[in-house]
Amino acid sequence: MEKTILITGITGQDGYYLAKSLLESGHKVHGTIRRTSSINTFRIDELISKYSKDGFIKLHYADLTDSSSISNLISGVKPDEIYNLAAQSHVAVSFKNPVYTTQVGTLGSLSVLEAIRSTNKFIKFYQASSSEMFGGENEVVLNENSELVPKSPYAASKVFAHHMTKIYRESYGMFCVNGILFNHESPLRGETFVTRKISRAVGRIVEDLQSNLTLGNLDAKRDWGFAGDFVEGMILMLQHSEPDDWVLATGETYSIKDFLTEAFSYVNLNWEEFVVYNSKYDRPNEVNYLKGDSSKAQEVLGWKPKLDFKDLVKLMVDEDIELAKQEKVLIERKLIEPTWEYSKV
C-alpha cells in the first residue's frame, strides 16, 4: 500500500538511503530542507531527477525550531509516517556550537511530536537516537536498557529527544519509536567525520593529490556498520505492531587505528607513514568505547547488518578513489582549486 512519508534531514547520509528505499518501494516521500543561502541537495539529486516529475518526492523549506511551521507542514503533507533525522550530528562541532546543536536536537524533535499530537495522533514517528547517549565509559555491550551518560552537547540533546519520544508514546498512546543507532558509515558520510576523512585522504593519496592526513585520538573504538543496512532497520521499526525502542549495531568494535590499517593496507600503503597527530582534533570529553547489542531488533524485527567492517571500508575507499580521479581531471583543467590539507597540487 502506498504511503506518504515525511523525512526531516532528508539531505543527509541517512536521509538519502532512507528516501531511496522508500521510493523504490513505491511510497511518496516529502523532505525538509533549511532555508539557507546555499541549498545542499547533492546527495539526493539523483532521487529528485528520477522521482520528482511523477510527484513521488517533494522538498519543503522548514525550520524545526519553529513549531507553527512544522505543524502547518504536517497538516499540509498529511504523512502516514515521519522520520526525524534532522540534527547537527557532528559531536566535535557540538562543543563549538552547543546552542544551535541543542536547539535543533531538542526543540526540533519536540516540535514534531507536538505537531503530531495536535493534528493526527495516528501518524507514526521515528526518532533518530544515538549510541553517543551511552557515554562509553566502560567496555560493556550496550542495549536498550543501558544507562544513558551523555558526554557532549550533541549526546545530551539526543537524550532529551529520546525521553520526550517515550513520554509522548506513554502519555498519549502515540506510535513513537526510538532508533538507537550505533555508528553507521557510507561513501555519503560527511567529510569531517573521521571515517570519511580517512577514506577521502586515501583516495587523494593514491591519486597523488595529498601527502598526509591529520587526526586526533586514534584509540577510540566504535561499532561501525553500513548506513544502507541501518535505514532498513528504521523502516522495520515503524512497521512493527507496537512502538518501542530499538538498538541497531553490528556487535563488533574497531578502533580508529583499525580503520586506518584496513583503509591504507587495501591500497598497499602503511598509514603510519601518512598520519599526523594534532591534539586540536581531540574531543574535550572523549567517548572511548561503544559496542552495541542488537539482538532484540534481530529477533523481533528480523533485522541484521549485511555489510561487514572490511567490506564497508573497501566500499568507502573505492568510491573515494574514483572521486579523487574526478578531482584530478578538474584540477588539470583548472576548473577547481584543491581545498584540502597537505595538497600536492
Active site positions, annotated: 130, 132, 154
| Residue 81: closest CA among 2, 181, 168, 193 | 2
28 DSSP β-pair partners: 4
DSSP state letters, 261-285: HHHHHHTT--GGGTEEE-GGGS-SS
Contact 25, 99 (CB under 8 A): no
Using DSSP bridges, classify how beta strands 221-222 and 254-255 pair: parallel, antiparallel or unpaired.
Answer: antiparallel
**CA–CA distance, 189 with 319 (Å, rounded to integer):** 12
Contact 155, 133 (CB under 8 A): yes
Question: What is the CA 97 to chain-centroid distance, rounded?
Answer: 18
Q: State the burial class of residue 278 (Cβ atoms within 10 Å of its Cβ: 0-12, 13-18, 19+).
A: exposed
Contact 95, 156 (CB under 8 A): no
At residue 38, the 3 state secondary structure works out as: coil
3-state SS of the chain: helix, strand, coil percent to 5?
A: 45, 15, 35
